[in-house]
Structures are given as structure tokens and as C-alpha cells.
Amino acid sequence: MTLTPYQIVAPIISLLALAYAWNLVIRKKKSILEACFWTIFWGAIAGIALDPSVLHYLSELTGIANQENAVIVTFLGILFFMVFYLVMRLEELERRYTKIVRSLALREAGLEGKKEEYKANKEDKEHKEAAEHA
């Protein structure tokens, strides 16, 4: 089998991107979920580059043989992504709101500080370690 330059370069770039994404997970700068998404994305790029006939197989498997079906599936995908994104944003907002309520409670009781100091020191240490590794 003869490989074209694209079939060599695309998988190498995919591998590098994946190594970078999972490295960020190990350094706790990216969630496992994000890394999984990147793995699927770059895996698909590499897979299609190495074996373009995968696209024909996908077309047969999904039955997306015409443009109308493709449009419907695409919009379903977009809607799914939007709902997922909203759930993630809601989770994030709830976390921030809880953090504010908890901080206020501790401040009112005159007990704010020590734990935050510990966490800040821990984060500093992690950043330094990450910088040293890099």
C-alpha cells in the first residue's frame, strides 16, 4: 500500500494533538470529557486520512445517502450539542453560585481564609510542578 504525504502527516498531527490533550488532562487543565471529544475528532481525521473508504461505509451505515437526511442529522447533532453545552453551563453556574453562598456564610461567621490559603498554596505548587515538567 502506497501512502500519500497527507496520509502520513494527518495521523502524525492527530497523534501529537492527542498527546497534548491527554497531557493537559494529567495536569488537570482539561477535563476527561474534553479529551474524549478531541480523541474522537482527531481519531476521525486520522482514520479518514488512512482509509477514505470509511466515508462510504458510514454513508451506508447511517443511510445518509441524500442531502435531506444529512441536513436533518446535522441539525439533530447541533441540537444535541446545544443541550449538552447548556447542561455544562448550568452546572458551572450552580458551582459558582454555591461558592459565593459558602464564602459569604464563612465570611459572616468570621471564619473565611485558612482553607483557601491551603488551596491557593496547593494550586501554586501544581502550577510550579507543571511548569518544571514543561
Partner 1 sequence: MILAVIPAFNEEKRIAKVVAAAKGFVDGVLVVDDGSTDQTAAYAKEAGARVVRHAQNCGAGAATMTGIDAAHALGARAVVTLDADGQHDPKEIPLLLRPIEEGRADIVFANRFGRKNVIPFVRRLFNGIGNVLTLFVTGKWVSDSQCGFKAFGPKALKEIDLRMSGFEFCTEIVRETTEHRWRIVEVPTKVLYSEYTLAKGQSFANGIRTALRILLRSFLR
Q: Decide if residue 104 touches partner 1 (CB under 8 A).
A: yes
Binding test (CB under 8 A) with partner 1, winner from 76, 118, 126, 129: 118
CA 119 vs. chain centroid, Å, equals 25
User: Nearest distance from residue 101's CB to partner 1, in Å?
Assistant: 5
Binding test (CB under 8 A) with partner 1, winner from 109, 131, 132, 134: 109
Virtual CA dihedral for 30, 32, 35, 40, nearest 10 degrees? -160
How far apart CA 8 and CA 14 sit, in angstroms, is 10
Q: Choose between 32 and 134: whose C-beta lies nearer to partner 1.
A: 32
Binding test (CB under 8 A) with partner 1, winner from 8, 55, 101, 120: 101
Q: Decide if residue 31 touches partner 1 (CB under 8 A).
A: yes
Phi and psi at residue 4, in whole multiples of 5°? -80, 165
Binding test (CB under 8 A) with partner 1, winner from 76, 96, 98, 126: 98
Nearest CA to 64 among 54, 49, 74, 51? 74
CB 130 within 8 A of CB 27: yes
Virtual CA dihedral for 130, 98, 35, 13, nearest 10 degrees? -60
Q: Among 16-24, 61-69, 105-113, 125-133, which window interacts with partner 1 (CB under 8 A)?
A: 105-113
Interface ranges with partner 1 (CB under 8 A): 31-33, 87-88, 91, 94-95, 97-98, 101-102, 104-106, 108-109, 111-115, 118-119
